[in-house]
Structure 1
Amino acid sequence: MLQCILWRDSVDDDIQIFKLNTVAYGTKPASFLAIRAIHQLAMDESFSYPLGLETILQDFYVDDMISGGNSVEDLRKWCSNSPDVLREVPEAERESFLKLDDGSDVTKALGLIWEPHRDKFLFTFAPQIGVGKHTKRSVLSTIARCYDPMGLIGPTLTRAKIIMQRMWRDKLHWDESLSQPLESAWAEFCKDFATVGHATFPRYILQPNARFELHAFCDASLQAYGACIYARSFKDTADEVHLLCSKARVAPLKTLTVPKLELCAAFLLANLLR
């Protein structure tokens, strides 16, 4: 894409210089420039809008923003888990909801399905079962559709990745039908996934004005290793523990001993905690 053009209608005319003064998509620095421009605008106006500066620097992912507040007065958003907030927002300016089969009203928050009424994240994806023969391409397509950046259903997806690794080990072509053992393993996974498709996780995992702890665990087997972090908040007699995030890796095809895999799990946990 041309950013600077030198032009003249004839050899007798002076050269005119045309420069593109907007951020154009498709160039290598486009993503950086777009974010950098937003940050610069926030810093230039930080004196007048200090809260805006904090929000832009911390609550943006590329050009999408998701934020919140500690009270109803802090929020003026189109979608909220508080009916008191939405009461002051005109109907036309509210976020439109998607309707699930069970009647729940949900919306999307950075790719995750969020039900504001119960303030929970939902996983509603269910793989197709019994539609012809499965191939490595269809299996990978199913796994790729499971968007779980926090690892809330990590143990389930790890089972699928182990099956996928077996396909690579057997050197299957992309559109080659699965062998009987792989077909049976994938069918069993799809059947079990139907129950996970209705799993819910609370968005807010703390208690107001409570003490807070992180509890981290890691482990390994010959097939995979992983790490998880739980958040514990407690005050008086109230004690709540919720899964915060997790990460898992399939063990490499080159056989490693369990102690080495456990070291890999510990390293994964250290990075996750950091």
Structure 2
Amino acid sequence: MCDIERMFHQFHVKAEDQDYLRFLWWDDGNFQAQSSVYRMRVHLFGAASSPGCANFGLKHVAAQGHGHYSETTIQFIERNFYVDDGLTSVATKEEAIKLVKEARQLCSAGKLRIHKFISNNHEVLASIPESERADSVRNRDLDLGESQIERALGIKWCIVSDQFHFRVIVEERPLSRRGVLSTVASIYDPLGFVAPFVLVGKQILQQMCQDKVGWDEPLSEELKPRWESWLLNDPTGPQPLTPNHILTMKSSVVLPPPGEFVKEDLYLRKRWRKVQYLANEFWTRWKREYLLNLQQRGKWCKTQRNAKINDIVMLMDNSLPRNEWKLAKVTKVYPSEDGIIRKLELLISDATLDDQGKRVNKPVYLERPIHKTVTLLEAE
């Protein structure tokens, strides 16, 4: 990834066209004084014509390189630039080093300077003069595995892992058609990498349009749980302690791997498959045998303690795999006519904190029936 320095200012405007770029200037910002009239001799930032003119000039520079540079370099200059930002990928580091060298030479012939180079390969970076590298990579060592996130045409790119990252921060908006549209439209994903995730939100919006819901009407009781579930679909949030944490000794979220794991896998030498089989067996028995003991029903048992504010509970959802159940704190109870609590308001846990230990995201509150929760820690 690279950038063309001050791209618009590198292309001159014909003398007969400079009157279209006239502007007034007051010395020292004194609007009472006589203004001066100036004309831009180069294309300026902010003019609607500048990107097109600069792009035409860049393609002209690339065309001058035919017969002198490789076709890969020519195509990179012609097709892999979005205004002044260049982005491409090649199969080997040798190709990358050659591409950088020829691209710099070709652009230099057209009085253009390509700089701010970024690569996920330290040998490619080493072949580039330090002054031509991006400031963010000059003092970092990729071999140390330092996390580094750069923006590639608006999308976050992790250089070390060579992966695109997406983080959706949901701001507090009304639970209405207008709020749903604002949230769904705020996810920037021009290439459709997270389309399966966004599709669920769009389907909810589509249903509201089909039902002819007003822009400021609240979500229906049918759509509200679906919308709240979609907002909480965060695999990086805090999770309950599960057998997988015990067997793999990992505190981070580990989603079930693809494939089926059978009893015969116990006798394979690959410990990984053995661990996955044991984790699945543990999870199945834990839900069937231990979890039910925590969630006793008053119909068959003696009178139990009612849920109270500040109880710590776990949200049950048998459709989710292991490690996907949410923790929550009871913030409000709704007693029925007989005094038994059958409905709760919950504050969903969120481990995203800033350097001062404060929440980054807005608190999320949900209402759930008590039979969808399991009490883990009772409030005093």
Which TM-score applies when normalising by structure 2? 0.39
Distance 1:137 1:112 in 2: 26
State how 1:45-124 maps to structure 2 within 5 Å.
Answer: 45-50=65-70, 52-73=73-94, 74-75=96-97, 76=100, 78-88=117-127, 93-96=133-136, 104-124=147-167
2:245 is matched with which residue?
none
1:44 is matched with which residue?
64
Say if 1:47 and 1:175 are closer, same or farther in 2 by CA, change over 3 A: farther
Say if 1:87 and 1:4 are closer, same or farther in 2 by CA, change over 3 A: closer
1:184 aligns with 2:225: yes
Bigger RCO of structures 1 and 2 (CA < 8 A, at least 6 apart): 1
Q: Alignment partner of 1:108: what SS?
A: strand
Q: Alignment partner of 1:53: what SS?
A: helix
Give % identity.
Answer: 29
Q: Is the 8 A contact 1:78 1:95 kept in 2?
A: no
2:181 is matched with which residue?
140
State how 1:252-267 maps to structure 2 within 5 Å.
Answer: none
Q: Is the 8 A contact 1:59 1:65 kept in 2?
A: yes
C-alpha deviation, 1:160, in angstroms: 0.9
1:34 is matched with which residue?
54
Distance 2:40 2:124 in 1: 42
Write out per-residue CA displacement over residues 47-95 of structure 1, whole angstroms, 9 at most, x where no aligned residue: 4444542211121123321023343343357321112233455666335
Say if 1:31 and 1:105 are closer, same or farther in 2 by CA, change over 3 A: closer
Write out per-residue CA displacement over residues 217-237 of structure 1, whole angstroms, 9 at most, x where no aligned residue: xxxxxxxxxxxxxxxxxxxxx
Query: How many positions carry a matched residue from both structures?
Result: 180
Unaligned runs of 5+ in 1: 7-17, 98-102, 200-274
Q: Is the 8 A contact 2:18 2:41 kept in 1?
A: no
Write out per-residue CA displacement over residues 10-45 of structure 1, whole angstroms, 9 at most, x where no aligned residue: xxxxxxxx9976446666655433322211122134
Distance 1:178 1:83 in 2: 51
1:229 is matched with which residue?
none
Q: Alignment partner of 1:195: what SS?
A: coil
Which TM-score applies when normalising by structure 1? 0.52
Q: Is the 8 A contact 2:158 2:164 kept in 1?
A: yes
For 1:120, give the aligned amino acid: Q
Unaligned runs of 5+ in 2: 1-15, 21-37, 101-115, 138-145, 238-252, 255-380
Distance 2:51 2:224 in 1: 41
2:212 is matched with which residue?
171
Write out per-residue CA displacement over residues 142-181 of structure 1, whole angstroms, 9 at most, x where no aligned residue: 2223223333322221111111112223334444433333
Q: Alignment partner of 1:114: what SS?
A: strand
Larger radius of gyration: 2
CA RMSD, Structure 1 to Structure 2 (Å): 3.8
Distance 2:154 2:231 in 1: 22
Distance 2:135 2:154 in 1: 15
